[in-house]
């Protein structure tokens, strides 16, 4: 794992060391390539244009058909088992490219160059890959660790403001589940982060990377402690699937999910109201969220139960018990979920008003 401003300039030498004579292929999306293609091409000067494979990086295109298209292009280019794929893009590019790498010829090597906050602090680290089904998010995939992750915070300057804010919700997740020092830093420096202050951003990204690496090293295949990283994702994934990935960016859905899990924790007397208010206020400082869809708590519970993280119909909730600490594998009664779902809009509205006073 390499992280730091300007580290993209090291990509060429790093790929040369890893390629070991194999062909190098670049996987990206048209919109990312428009911004960073020239810089990547300068680093990978020996990569032919027909070795650059671009695909749609919208969540709605994160499907098996996209994997098939990539693998067919690799086959037409005669990519063999010595091939090295370099994935340049955000979370969708990383998930799709990683799954293609795990599947093509039963596995070829991959390097991740994440270009979003979510990619740099979370999705590019840990080897989880996958695509969606209409029935749910990331239901098909594999654990497939990359050869290298190169995270350059400088590339985040080209992100649209909404995309950038969406990634910061994942940073808040790390603070709530296991790092009260990070939470305190965010409270002090959140305005600087929103301005993309590079010193603050670099500190936060490195902190989150270390946390993710530490958790994954203890539980690579999510059998135990790694489940804590799912804080906010239980409701978040349900919102994404129920709205067909057309309303929420991933981080926005996770933000609603964190608010919901916080309300549930309070309702079950697992979290104090002071900490709950601090969590909600920090989420509110990130900006507005798309409104929740008009769906019933029954529909929500049904979508949650179909998520890949449930076991025999049992939903494993991650609930905070204090800032910097969380419980995994919590059983939550459906009536408590329904209560939280009803209260979510007003809970967030209060947090937004509190942030303005």
In the chain, what are the domains? 2-157 (3.40.50.1970), 160-356 (1.20.1090.10)
- Which pLDDT belongs to residue 309? 64
Using pLDDT thresholds of 50, 70 and 90, give the confidence band for residue 274.
very high
- Which pLDDT belongs to residue 312? 59
Nearest-CA neighbor of 332 among 352, 314, 346, 347?
Answer: 314
- Which pLDDT belongs to residue 188? 97
Model confidence, pTM: 0.93
- pLDDT (tens digit per residue) in 305-353: 887 666 656 788 999 999 999 999 999 999 999 999 999 999 999 999 8
- pLDDT (tens digit per residue) in 184-215: 999 999 999 999 999 999 999 999 999 999 99
Percent of the chain with pLDDT over 90: 87
- Which pLDDT belongs to residue 356? 59
Nearest-CA neighbor of 16 among 51, 36, 35, 44?
Answer: 44
Residue pair 74/83 in contact by the 8 Å Cβ criterion: yes
SS3 of the chain: helix, strand, coil, percent, to 5: 60, 15, 25
Residue pair 62/93 in contact by the 8 Å Cβ criterion: no
Residue bearing the bigger pLDDT, 224 or 276: 276
Nearest-CA neighbor of 96 among 50, 160, 142?
Answer: 142
First-last CA distance in the chain = 41
CB-based burial label for 152 (10 Å; 0-12, 13-18, 19+): buried
- Which pLDDT belongs to residue 357? 43
Give the C-alpha separation, 146 to 98, whole Å: 8
- Average pLDDT of the residues of the chain: 94
Residue 135, pLDDT > 90, answer: no
Residue bearing the bigger pLDDT, 21 or 202: 202
């Amino acid at each position: 794992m390499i992280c730091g401003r300007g580290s993209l300039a090291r990509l060429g030498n790093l790929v040369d060391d890893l390629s070991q004579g194999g062909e190098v292929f670049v996987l990206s999306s048209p919109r990312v390539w428009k911004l960073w293609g020239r810089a990547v091409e300068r680093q990978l000067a020996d990569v032919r244009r027909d070795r650059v494979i671009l695909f749609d990086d919208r969540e709605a295109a994160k499907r098996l058909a996209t994997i098939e298209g990539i693998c067919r292009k690799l086959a037409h280019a005669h990519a063999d088992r010595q091939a090295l794929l370099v994935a340049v893009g955000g979370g969708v590019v990383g998930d799709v490219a990683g799954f293609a790498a795990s599947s093509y010829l039963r596995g070829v090597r991959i390097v991740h160059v994440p270009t979003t906050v979510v990619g740099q602090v979370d999705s590019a680290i840990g080897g989880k890959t996958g695509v969606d089904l209409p029935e749910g998010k990331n239901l098909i995939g594999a654990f497939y660790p990359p050869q290298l992750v190169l995270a350059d915070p400088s590339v985040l300057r080209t992100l649209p403001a909404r995309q950038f804010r969406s990634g910061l919700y994942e940073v808040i997740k790390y603070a709530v589940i296991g790092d009260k020092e990070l939470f305190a830093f965010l409270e002090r420096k959140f305005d600087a982060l929103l301005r993309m202050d590079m010193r603050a951003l670099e500190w936060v990204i490195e902190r989150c990377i270390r946390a993710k690496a530490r958790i994954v090293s203890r539980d690579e295949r999510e059998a135990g402690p790694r489940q804590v990283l799912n804080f906010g994702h239980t409701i978040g994934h349900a919102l994404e699937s129920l709205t067909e990935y057309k309303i929420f960016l991933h981080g926005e859905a996770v933000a609603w999910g964190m608010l919901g899990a916080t309300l549930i924790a309070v309702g079950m007397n697992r979290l104090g109201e002071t900490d709950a208010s601090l969590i909600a206020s920090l989420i509110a400082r990130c900006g507005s969220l798309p409104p929740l869809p008009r769906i019933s708590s029954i529909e929500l519970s049904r979508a949650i139960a179909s998520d890949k993280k449930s076991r025999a119909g049992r939903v494993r909730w991650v609930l905070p018990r204090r800032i910097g600490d969380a419980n995994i594998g919590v059983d939550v009664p459906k009536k408590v979920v329904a209560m939280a779902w009803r209260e979510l809009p007003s809970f967030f509205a209060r947090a937004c008003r509190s942030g303005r006073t």
